[in-house]
């Protein structure tokens, strides 16, 4: 069976009361960011915005123009076989602290960087958060 290709897009969301607080979603077995499949006819950013709204209710987001973080990984799906998944993340600031969770998630939290880095589950998700933090730190210099 050939390897199936999938593409998803998401947003690393932060808000800044004083220092950046990053949004993490609890998927039940792991903590991660709002993201989902890019649908036919969508570009990555449109898909990321749609998924953000569907999963969190957040519609007001300021996307950082110069940040994109892409990751690729493989996983085995019972019906689809081996899947090569590419996920592109954008970085976005919101003023909202209200989250309306979809039924895909059991909890959500805005956390300071160190706590978010500890809480997020997968190494590639940790790398995305590190890249976002480095971008924000460089922008503040």
Between the alpha carbon of residue 34 and those of residues 12, 41, 48, 83, the distances in Å are: 7, 20, 8, 20
Q: Identify the CATH number of the domain in which residue 47 sits.
A: 3.90.79.10
Q: What is the mean pLDDT of residues 86-115?
A: 95
pLDDT value of residue 17: 82
pLDDT value of residue 35: 96
Which residue reads 């958060």 in tokens? Answer: 129
Domain count, the chain: 1
What is the extent of the structural domain holding 135?
4-139
What CA–CA distance (Å, rounded) separates 22 from 41?
29
pLDDT tens-digit readout, 16-67: 988 899 999 999 999 999 999 999 999 999 999 999 999 999 999 999 999 9
pLDDT at 2 over 90: no
pLDDT tens-digit readout, 102-122: 988 999 999 999 999 999 999
3-state secondary structure the chain: CCCEEEEEEEEEEEECCCCCEEEEEECCCCEECCEEECCCCCCHHHHHHHHHHHHHCCCCCEECCCCCEEEEEEEEECCCEEEEEEEEEEEEECCCCCCCCCCCCCEEEEEEHHHHHHHCCCHHHHHHHHHHHHHHHHHCC
């Amino acid at each position: 069976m050939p390897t199936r290709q999938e593409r998803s897009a998401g947003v690393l969301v932060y808000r800044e009361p004083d220092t950046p607080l990053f949004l993490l979603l609890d998927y039940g077995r792991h903590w991660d960011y709002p993201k989902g499949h890019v649908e036919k006819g969508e570009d990555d950013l449109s898909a990321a915005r749609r998924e953000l709204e569907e999963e969190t209710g957040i519609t007001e987001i300021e996307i950082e123009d110069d940040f994109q973080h892409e990751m690729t990984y493989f996983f085995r799906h019972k019906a689809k076989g081996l899947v090569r998944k590419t996920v592109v993340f954008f970085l976005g600031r919101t003023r909202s602290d209200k989250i309306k969770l979809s039924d895909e998630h059991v909890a959500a939290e805005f956390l300071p960087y160190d706590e978010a880095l500890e809480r997020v589950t997968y190494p590639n998700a940790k790398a995305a958060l590190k890249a976002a933090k480095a971008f924000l730190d460089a922008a503040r210099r």
